Amino acid sequence: MGEIISIINQKGGCGKTTTAVNLSSALAILGKKVLIVDIDPQANATTGFGVNKATLNSTIYSIISGEAKIEDTIQETMIPDLYIIPSNLALSGAEVELTSQIGYHTILKEAIDPIKNGFDYIFIDAPPSLGILTLNALVAGDSIIIPIQAEYYALEGMADLLKTMKLVENRLKSPCPIKGILLTLYDGRTRLGREVYQEIKNFFFPQEYIFKTIIPRNIRLAEAPSHGKPCIIYDKDCKGSKAYLKLAEELIKMEDEK
């Protein structure tokens, strides 16, 4: 049975896309069948896999606007058993168009649910806002991963996100349990990194919600997208790739313990 995991944080630059790309790649390398759904108009996950967003015929937008069947938008990546539904800038119009459709918050869920069981994991890479696309990701996801950058102001906006999650649960009757809080861009040498970690634990999420795996700040993770490759392909032995492989193992273990 497939599991849909949305990667959400309205803060930009906290590692959502890096996590979507490298966690899905790691899981595929470990033998899982994985789909990544890019719902950010900036399409960083799409280009991160070397897909040319300028020449795409069908994207996630084609599904939302009802022009394409979801099966026809799924593309292969350079990693066996890892697939992507790409995005491009056309999606930026969707926010406005969607609001005029009845039941606009469930459109993504309705599109993905029928193909859910064809995969072990489906990751939704959300945009950096709490708008309609992110709302769709909250409704579509069976659970969510919240990446948090270990930096000053990282927790600003966290209360808004938690409030939105509560509203989705209460008003739309669609619970969004937290799969895990993921500490990203972590530099253990700085006091700041450690302080943010403490603050997350003390004020927002008990320890059991926080992934044991912490993603370090690693230059190779930042370089890989410009080569159109997941870091795990670009440099499989770097600290960043190893961390995402460890996170994939942690996720698989969570399933096994269920």
Query: Is residue 14 close enough to count as binding ligand ADP by CB under 6 A?
Result: yes
Query: Is residue 11 close enough to count as binding Mg ion by CB under 5 A?
Result: no
Query: Is residue 18 close enough to count as binding ligand ADP by CB under 6 A?
Result: yes
Q: Are 88 and 60 in contact (CB under 8 A)?
A: no
Q: Which of 6, 9, 10, 17 binds Mg ion (CB under 5 A)?
A: 17
Which of 12-20, 72-80, 158-166, 245-253 is the region at the interface with Mg ion (rule: CB under 5 A)? 12-20
Matching residue, tokens 């595929």: 28
Query: Is residue 6 close enough to count as binding Mg ion by CB under 5 A?
Result: no
Burial class (CB in 10 A: 0-12, 13-18, 19+), 252: middle
Nearer to ligand ADP, 14 or 64 (CB): 14
Nearer to ligand ADP, 9 or 62 (CB): 9
Query: Given 3-state DSSP classes, what are the helix, strand and coil percentages for the chain, each rounded to the nearest 5?
Result: 50, 15, 35
Torsion sign over Cα 109, 115, 119, 120:
positive
Nearer to Mg ion, 24 or 44 (CB): 44
Per-residue binder mask for Mg ion (CB under 5 A), 32-71, x = binder? ------------x---------------------------
Distance CA 5, CA 186 (A): 22
Residues 175-194 that bind ligand ADP (CB under 6 A): 184-185
Q: Are 144 and 179 in contact (CB under 8 A)?
A: yes
Helix (H), strand (E) counts: the chain: 11, 7
Q: Kindly state the smallest distance separating residue 218's Cβ from ligand ADP, in Å.
A: 5
